Amino acid sequence: MAKFFIHFRDNVYRLNRGVDRAYFYIHLQELDILNGDETYEVRRILNGYRYKRLFEIEKLKDLISEATEDEYNIFWENRKTEAKKGRN
């Protein structure tokens, strides 16, 4: 299973082992983090894009962890690659 990353306020987090993306989504709904166009916002979260609305990382501490330095670097390398593909 590929690692799932969240980019938030210049930090990169990853879902903890065993945490399902669907469960993460449900948890965000329960915290009332998502409102407005939920489908759009969830897509942004699931694709690892920066999530603009402030939410408390503390409430998600059982689900996510800060990425290791290696994971952080891989995340940014992948983002650069995606950006280059998008320009072609």
Q: What is the pLDDT along the chain (88 residues), one digit of tens a residue?
A: 457 777 766 778 888 888 888 887 777 766 655 554 444 455 555 555 444 444 556 667 788 888 889 988 888 888 888 778 776 5
Say which residues have a Cβ less than 8 Å from residue 71's Cβ, sequence separation at least 6: 3, 5, 12, 14
pLDDT at 1: 45
CA distance 84 to 62: 34
pLDDT at 30: 66
Phi and psi, residue 58, nearest 5° = -55, -40
